[in-house]
Amino acid sequence: MIRSAELYEALFDDEAFATLPDRIARAFGARSAIFGWQFDKVDAVFFGHSYFRDEDVGVYLRHFALVDEWSIAHASNPNPNLALDLDKLAGPDVWQNGIVYNEWLRPMGDDTAHCIGVYVENSRGRGSLVMHRGKSQQPFEQQTIDRLTASSRHVRRMLSIRARLEAADRTHSVLHGFAEAAGPTLLVDRALKLMNGNQAGEELLRGGALLRLASERVLTSVPATPRLDRAVAAACDRAEPSAELLLLHPPGSRPVPMIIAPVSFRGKSLAMLLLDQPVQTPSVQPFLAERFGLTPSEADIAQRIAEGQSTREIAEARGAALNTVKVQLKSVLMKMECRRQVEVAALVKSMAKLAAKALEIQSVLGRKV
């Protein structure tokens, strides 16, 4: 029997925990042992495992965890107080004719055919310690199953604590990602309720130009394709979560792309909103007018060129005819001594840096530069 002290000592010692599955397998005469947890229908992890290779475990988690006949058998016959003989629950024919055995185990030359386990279920999901023997080995004896039952209370407690630690790590990882994200980033649930966000995301909501907060829900302030609620619902779908590229359409400006990505956070299926805001060039129109003799309309067109707008978009934003904008653009090119629009953009951006520096000096000296 595995000592309860070994279980608890390994909880906060990663090196000890890494060897725990192998020690448990040997203690119960098993070939392999796995500690696992399923946070929701699409999010399963192994805390530790023996015998199987890491790459094989990855394949199982991605493609077979949800169709494992032994897991399905347990879910239909849960008994939290007893170790379960999955051979009897699922039946050897069901297992050896099933997907996991024939499409995962057999292709890699494995004959795992016997399984016993201890399970725990709480608000974070469902965890398990399962042990296996091969087809060429004897099924688990009742005495062995009884020994596992005697340890089950400690195993279940250890699994629950480990799940809590994993959830805490995920929370820290997501929040750290928010803090490090360069652009506005928000986390919402299926009903669009704001769960979290970084500083840039909160500032975006306070500004209200693209997104706004109403009754704790994130809403769009401008037309969006596809609709935000539909994109978030797709990301939060537990069965088949999917990412979506959404376009926000502010009037008179280029569309702003926003990625809606599925994310598991504290055991919930949520959606992360990542905005790619266009870089706005600081207003340099007064400097352009003074330096190159541009009219207010020409200075506005030059700045819009630097921000990446096309002549058609500029015409729509200014409410002017396309030919009028083209004529004004020719004047801009001539006055700024540029041959192409890309040269205008580069020159305006250089002027923007000078303008920012001038404003900085002005703020220090407290007088106009």
Read off the tokens for 56. Answer: 């094989």
C-alpha 163, offset from chain centre: 19
pLDDT at 201: 86
Read off the tokens for 223. Answer: 């037309």
Q: Name all domains of the chain by residue range, CATH numbers in brackets.
A: 4-174 (3.30.450.80), 184-275 (3.30.450.20), 285-365 (1.10.10.10)
CB environment 33-55: b (16+ within 10 A), e (fewer): bbbbbbbeebbbbbbbbbbbeee
pLDDT at 41: 65
pLDDT at 26: 94
Read off the tokens for 353. Answer: 């840096």
pLDDT at 57: 92
Measured at the CA of 48, the angle between CA 26 and CA 35, to 5 degrees, comes to: 80
SS (H, E, C) 225-285: ECCHHHHHHHHCCCCCCCCEEEEECCCCCCCEEEEEEEEEECCEEEEEEEECCCCCCCCCH
The whole-angstrom separation of Cα 66 and Cα 335 is: 67
Nearest of 121, 32, 131, 43 to residue 83 by alpha carbon: 131
**Regions of the chain short of the pLDDT cut 50:** 278-281, 361-369
pLDDT at 106: 93
**Phi and psi for 15 in degrees, rounded to 5?**
-65, -45
The whole-angstrom separation of Cα 101 and Cα 113 is: 8
pLDDT at 77: 66
pLDDT at 191: 95
pLDDT at 244: 79
Count of C-beta atoms within a 10 Å radius of residue 85: 18
